[in-house]
Amino acid sequence: MLKIINKLFQYLRVIGSANSLNHSSFPLVRHRTATRKFLNATMSSDKVSTRFMIISDTHNFQFGQAEKYDGCFRLPTPKCDVLLHCGDLTSVGGPVAYKQLLKMLGSIEAELKLVIAGNHDLDLDKKHWEKTLDSDAEEEARAQPERALEVMTGPLAKEAGVTYLVEGINTFTLKNGAKFTIYTSPYQPEFCDWAFPYERDEDRFNPPEHVAPNVKCIAENPVPDFPGVDIMMTHGPPKDILDWTAHGNVGCEALLRAVSRARPLLYCFGHIHEAYGAHVVTWKDDSKLIGAEAIQEESYLPNGYPEKSNSPIKRRKETLMVNAAIMNLSYRPTNAPWLIDLYLSRAE
């Protein structure tokens, strides 16, 4: 059956490349529609189609601002099962900014809303916050991380339907019967003394046996091998994938090594506003390969918002990678969210 499904995927890609329709095309259109119906029926027997909305780098965004820049992130947003926010919730943190964030996220209709921090959310990184405080800082400043966390995990977050996640692995079951496991981390390579940093010669995502030469393993919550997670969500991007800047590619080699081992259905991130976009990465069959060597090909995926953007992702063979930054390089909300459908396992 899997061979048949793979053949059907190949067929759909071939006929989907047609640029126009004429009378001779109609049989192909009918064939394509019938094929998709068969494919959906086949996959739905043991998988559940689940819709995700992915955003990142909202930086104090409030609804009504996108209209000023002809952006697409407007109310009402399309309904989804799960909302994923990949960090940089605010500009510099602060309890007031987090309360405004929760108000904004509360306007989005989703059963589950999963959120991580980013380098701009300064006071959610307590260790970094305390390290950068002056020795004579007032008690109110010292207590700010606790106040920030209280907002993100307290009654206002629950009212907005928001679940704040730190680095680690969590499993969720939805009302539609779908079950998924997600790895999350707010950390990214050190940048201008912002929050959640690690050095370029440190690896916090791989166990020692998978760390690159001359790199120090600091992993406390390493990414598991396939099939340990269905989704990865980090703030920063992996190396050479949706990570370009005017000064070159700035993604993390350790993250690329980790995602090549995990081969999730979806890997979403942000951080690099100018590299907004989505690619489908196809992996080589040899699961022992790691990092860039594991990539067979990489293809561009256009954003279809407010409709879904993707075809079914082949488990183990493909990973959809999404840089979901809402703000552009000038911190204007010109970019659209991503709507992605994943076929997830049914909960037992």
Residue pLDDT tens, the chain, 348 long: 333 333 333 333 332 333 332 333 323 233 333 334 444 444 456 899 999 999 999 999 999 999 999 999 999 999 999 999 999 999 999 999 999 999 999 999 999 999 999 999 999 999 999 888 877 778 788 889 999 999 999 999 999 999 999 999 999 999 999 999 999 999 999 988 899 999 999 999 999 999 999 999 999 999 999 999 999 999 999 999 999 999 999 999 999 999 999 999 999 999 999 999 999 999 999 999 999 999 999 999 999 999 999 888 999 999 999 999 999 999 999 999 999 999 999 998
Q: What single letter denotes the amino acid at residue 71?
A: G
Q: What single letter denotes the amino acid at residue 137?
A: A
- The alpha carbon of 183 is separated from its chain's Cα centroid by a whole number of angstroms, namely 10
Q: Is the dihedral of CA 92, 93, 94, 97 positive or negative?
A: positive
Write a three-state SS string for 291-325: HHHHEEEEEECCCCCCCCCCCCCCCCCEEEEEECE
- How many other C-beta atoms lie within 10 A of the C-beta of residue 162? 24
Type and span of the H or E element at 191: none
Q: What single letter denotes the amino acid at residue 266?
A: L
Residue 248 buriedness (CB in 10 A; 0-12 / 13-18 / 19+)? exposed
Of 260, 232, 147, 238, the residue nearest 188 (C-alpha)? 238
Q: What gap in Å lies between CA 176 and CA 345, rounded to an integer? A: 11
Is the distance from CB of 319 to CB of 263 less than 8 angstroms? yes
Query: pTM of the full predicted structure?
Result: 0.87
Instruction: Kindly state the tokens that stand for 241.
Output: 């994938």
State the greatest distance between any 2 C-alpha atoms of the chain, in Å, as a whole number: 79
Is the distance from CB of 42 to CB of 5 less than 8 angstroms? yes
DSSP 72-85: S--SSPPPEEEEEE
Q: What gap in Å lies between CA 83 and CA 112, rounded to an integer? A: 6
Residue 72 buriedness (CB in 10 A; 0-12 / 13-18 / 19+)? middle
- The alpha carbon of 254 is separated from its chain's Cα centroid by a whole number of angstroms, namely 17
Q: What are phi and psi of 164, to 5 degrees?
A: -90, 125
Q: What single letter denotes the amino acid at residue 302?
A: P
